[in-house]
């Protein structure tokens, strides 16, 4: 069930039977020569929508802009500052809590978001601990690409060529979601330079000239995306059930 495609009456009815909600969170950033700029938002959104349909779970709007300053050397990337993402998460959570939601699972598609999302959770709970905010809320973070089943499958399909950014697994999943956007372009070298840290956007582009980090997304295909989606749904469902037990 999708919040964006529901009426307020339907949300009121949902709240009679459940008080949990899933929010996909991603990034808008370059993903190398054959990866879509929306990859990090498309992947968690695709998993969350499929989970929501299968299990009668409400899925909110995708927060599709995140922490991408290091990709700003490549056109099309849009980034927030950490403080902006923290404020966005805080206001999203407090809005949902106001309506009676008690469990919120963020399904994340971007490693660069993790530290800031955890800081946002700490900020929210600190405010609540200081008092003056009614209603308890349990917050969960599920990074789909770190899920046990998704990782096992990515390792089986790509081994070390999975790399750290613009990976064949995320490219496959985004292509499965949007087959009309599949890009067939040569990659040179096949496997990009391995990840070895970075500073700002200039430094990142110097180290990783085509935007990939240690990956060979030339191995990506739509069929792999279908399998990764199935693994991703199971991982996300497990994270959801764990959150509801808290």
Please report, as ranges, the residues that interact with Ni ion according to CB under 5 A. 39-40, 170
DSSP code of residue 34: T
Q: In this complex, which beta carbon is closest to Ni ion, that of residue 39 or of residue 143? A: 39
Residue nearest to Ni ion (CB): 40
Rounded to a whole number of angstroms, the minimum distance from the CB of residue 117 to Ni ion is 15
Q: In this complex, which beta carbon is closest to Ni ion, that of residue 21 or of residue 29? A: 29
Rounded to a whole number of angstroms, the minimum distance from the CB of residue 134 to Ni ion is 37
Q: In this complex, which beta carbon is closest to Ni ion, that of residue 40 or of residue 162? A: 40
Phi and psi at residue 126, in whole multiples of 5°? -65, -45
**∠ Cα 132 127 103 (to 5°):** 95
DSSP code of residue 195: P
Q: In this complex, which beta carbon is closest to Ni ion, that of residue 51 or of residue 67? A: 67
Give 121: exposed, middle or buried? Use CB within 10 Å, 0-12, 13-18, 19+: buried
Q: In this complex, which beta carbon is closest to Ni ion, that of residue 19 or of residue 143? A: 143
Is 54 in contact with 240 (CB distance < 8 Å)? no
DSSP code of residue 199: -
Rounded distance between C-alpha atoms, residue 63 and residue 106, angstroms: 10
Sort strands 103-108 and 58-59 into parallel, antiparallel or unpaired.
unpaired
Rounded distance between C-alpha atoms, residue 189 and residue 216, angstroms: 9
Rounded to a whole number of angstroms, the minimum distance from the CB of residue 227 to Ni ion is 18
Q: In this complex, which beta carbon is closest to Ni ion, that of residue 6 or of residue 111? A: 111
Rounded to a whole number of angstroms, the minimum distance from the CB of residue 193 to Ni ion is 17
What lies within 8 Å, CB to CB, of 194 at 6+ separation is 163, 164, 213, 214
Rounded to a whole number of angstroms, the minimum distance from the CB of residue 213 to Ni ion is 10
Q: Which of 72, 95, 50, 59 is nearest to 233 (CA)?
A: 50
Rounded to a whole number of angstroms, the minimum distance from the CB of residue 53 to Ni ion is 24
């Amino acid at each position: 069930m999708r919040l964006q495609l529901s009426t307020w009456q339907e949300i009121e009815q949902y709240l009679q039977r459940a008080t949990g909600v899933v929010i996909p969170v991603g990034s808008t950033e370059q993903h190398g020569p054959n990866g879509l700029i929306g990859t990090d938002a498309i992947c968690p959104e695709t998993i969350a929508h499929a989970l929501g349909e299968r299990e009668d779970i409400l899925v909110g709007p995708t927060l599709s802009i995140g922490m991408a300053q290091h990709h700003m050397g490549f056109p099309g990337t849009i980034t927030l500052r950490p403080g902006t993402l923290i404020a966005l998460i805080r206001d999203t959570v407090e809005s949902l809590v106001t309506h009676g939601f008690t469990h919120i699972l963020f399904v994340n598609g971007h490693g660069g978001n993790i530290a800031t999302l955890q800081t946002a959770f700490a900020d929210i709970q600190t405010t609540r601990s200081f008092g003056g905010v009614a209603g308890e809320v349990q917050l969960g973070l599920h990074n789909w690409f770190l899920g046990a089943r998704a990782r096992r499958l990515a390792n089986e399909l790509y081994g070390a060529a999975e790399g750290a950014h613009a990976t064949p697994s995320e490219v496959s999943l985004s292509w499965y979601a949007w087959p009309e956007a599949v890009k067939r372009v040569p990659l040179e070298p096949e496997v990009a330079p391995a990840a070895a840290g970075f500073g700002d956007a200039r430094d990142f582009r110097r180290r990783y000239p085509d935007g990939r980090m240690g990956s060979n997304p030339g191995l990506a295909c739509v069929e792999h995306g279908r399998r990764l989606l199935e693994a991703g749904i199971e991982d996300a469902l497990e994270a959801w059930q764990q959150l509801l037990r808290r």
